[in-house]
C-alpha cells in the first residue's frame, strides 16, 4: 500500500508526520521523499545513502545539415523549447518537457537525442527503513522528471510512505496520483484552511480516499474541523502545539522521539489504514 502525506501549503508538518509513520510501522516500510526541490526527510531518519545515480532527460539537438526548416518541430512544441528565426533553429533545453513530439514530426530525422542532467537520485537504509530521495540540480525549473524517478523505486512488497512536496501543482499531483490513501496535513489558520480546500479538490478529482491531520491544533480556531465535518472528510489526528516538539524539530529529532507516547497513536493509525484501504 502507498500512503501519501501531503498538504496545500508548506510548513504544516508533512515530513514530521511521514517520518513518524515510517518509524511506527509494524511491517517492512519504505520512505520516498518526493520533495526533490528541498528534501529534508534525511535530517530526521538519518539514512546511510549507499547508492546514487545521476538523472537526466532527453532533449532535442538539431542536425543543421539535415534540417529543411519546415517548422514542424517548432509548431508542435507547446513550451517554446524550439524556436525558428528565419533559417536558424534554436533549442532551449531548460524549457523542454521531454514529450518527444518533435522527434515524431521530423520526417528528415534532423533531430538527435541529447541528454540533460536534472539532478541526482539517492537511496539506502535508515535502520530497517528503505530510504529514497532525489535532489534536483540547482537552478533546475522542473522537478517532476526526478520525482518520477524517485517513485519508480517504490517497492510493491513494502508499505510505501510518500512525503509529497507542498502546494497543489504538478509535483503534488505526480506524488499522490498512484497512492491508495492520502493524508492531508493542515493547521487551524485561514491559510491552512484555504490550501486544504485546494488539496482536497485535487483528491476529489482523482477519486482518491483521504483524511486530515491537524497539526498545532490548539493555536487557531475550529473552522478546519467544521469544514471537514461538512465535507465528510475524516480527521485522523489532532496534534496540539508543544514547545518541546518545536525544540526537538530544530535539533533534527522526530516527533515520536520527542513525544514517545505518540508512538502508539501513529502505530494505530497505520494499522487502521491497512485494515480499511490496504491492498
- C-alpha triplet 113, 85, 59: angle, nearest 5°: 15
Intrachain domains 2-55+119-277 and 64-109 with the same fold: no
- Give me the pLDDT at residue 274, please: 84
Q: How far is CA 95 from the centre of its chain?
A: 21
The residues facing 239 across adjacent strands are 215
Q: Which residues of 54-89 are buried (b: 16+ CB within 10 A; e: fewer)?
A: ebbbebbebeeeebeeeebbbeebeeebbebeeeeb
- Give me the pLDDT at residue 11, please: 85
Number of H helices, E strands in the chain: 11, 11
86 to each of 61, 64, 83, 90, how far by Cα in Å?
A: 18, 13, 10, 11
- Give me the pLDDT at residue 124, please: 97
pLDDT in tens, the chain (279 residues): 999 999 988 889 999 999 999 999 999 999 999 999 999 999 999 999 999 999 999 999 999 999 999 999 999 999 999 999 988 999 999 999 999 999 999 999 999 999 999 999 999 999 999 999 999 999 888 899 999 999 999 999 999 999 999 989 999 999 999 999 999 999 999 999 999 999 999 999 999 999 999 999 988 889 999 999 999 999 999 999 989 888 988 888 889 999 999 999 999 999 999 887 755
Residue 22 cell numbers, joined: 515510517
Indicate the domain borders of the chain.
2-55+119-277, 64-109
Those residues with Cβ within 8 angstroms of residue 78's Cβ, 6 or more apart along the chain or in another chain: none
Rounded Cα distance between 201 and 206, Å, is 9
Say if CB 110 and CB 63 are below 8 A apart. Answer: yes
Residue 223 cell numbers, joined: 473552522
- Give me the pLDDT at residue 10, please: 84
Asked if CATH classification 2.30.42 holds for the domain at 64-109, the reply, yes or no, is no
- Give me the pLDDT at residue 202, please: 95
Asked if CATH classification 3.40.50.300 holds for the domain at 2-55+119-277, the reply, yes or no, is yes
Is residue 239 classed as helix, strand or coil in its secondary structure? strand
Amino acid at each position: 500500500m502507498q500512503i501519501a502525506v501531503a498538504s496545500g501549503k508548506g510548513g504544516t508538518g508533512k515530513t514530521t508526520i511521514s517520518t513518524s509513520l515510517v518509524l511506527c510501522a509494524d511491517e517492512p516500510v519504505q520512505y520516498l521523499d518526493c520533495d526533490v526541490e528541498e528534501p529534508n526527510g534525511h535530517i530526521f531518519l538519518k539514512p546511510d545513502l549507499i547508492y546514487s545515480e545521476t538523472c537526466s532527460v532527453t532533449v532535442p539537438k538539431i542536425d543543421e545539415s539535415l534540417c529543411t526548416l519546415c517548422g514542424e518541430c517548432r509548431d508542435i512544441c507547446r513550451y517554446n523549447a524550439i524556436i525558428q528565426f528565419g533559417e536558424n533553429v534554436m533549442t532551449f533545453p531548460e524549457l523542454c518537457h521531454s514529450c518527444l513530439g518533435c522527434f515524431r514530426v521530423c520526417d528528415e530525422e534532423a533531430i538527435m537525442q541529447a541528454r540533460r542532467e536534472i539532478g541526482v537520485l539517492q537511496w539506502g537504509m535508515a535502520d530497517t527503513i528503505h530510504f529514497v530521495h532525489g535532489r534536483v540540480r540547482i537552478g533546475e525549473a522542473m522537478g517532476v522528471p526526478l520525482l518520477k524517478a524517485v517513485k519508480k523505486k517504490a517497492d510493491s512488497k513494502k508499505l510505501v510512505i510518500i512525503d509529497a512536496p507542498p502546494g497543489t501543482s504538478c509535483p503534488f499531483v505526480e506524488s499522490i496520483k498512484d497512492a491508495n490513501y492520502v493524508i492531508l496535513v493542515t493547521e487551524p489558520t485561514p491559510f491552512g484552511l484555504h490550501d486544504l480546500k485546494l488539496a482536497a479538490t485535487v483528491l476529489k478529482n482523482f477519486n482518491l480516499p483521504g483524511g486530515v491531520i491537524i497539526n498545532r491544533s490548539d493555536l487557531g480556531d475550529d473552522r478546519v474541523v467544521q469544514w471537514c465535518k461538512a465535507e465528510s472528510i475524516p480527521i485522523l489526528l489532532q496534534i496540539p502545539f508543544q514547545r518541546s516538539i518545536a525544540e526537538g524539530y530544530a535539533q533534527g529529532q522526530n516527533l515520536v522521539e520527542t513525544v514517545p507516547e505518540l508512538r502508539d497513536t501513529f502505530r494505530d493509525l497505520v494499522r487502521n489504514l491497512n485494515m480499511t484501504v490496504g491492498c
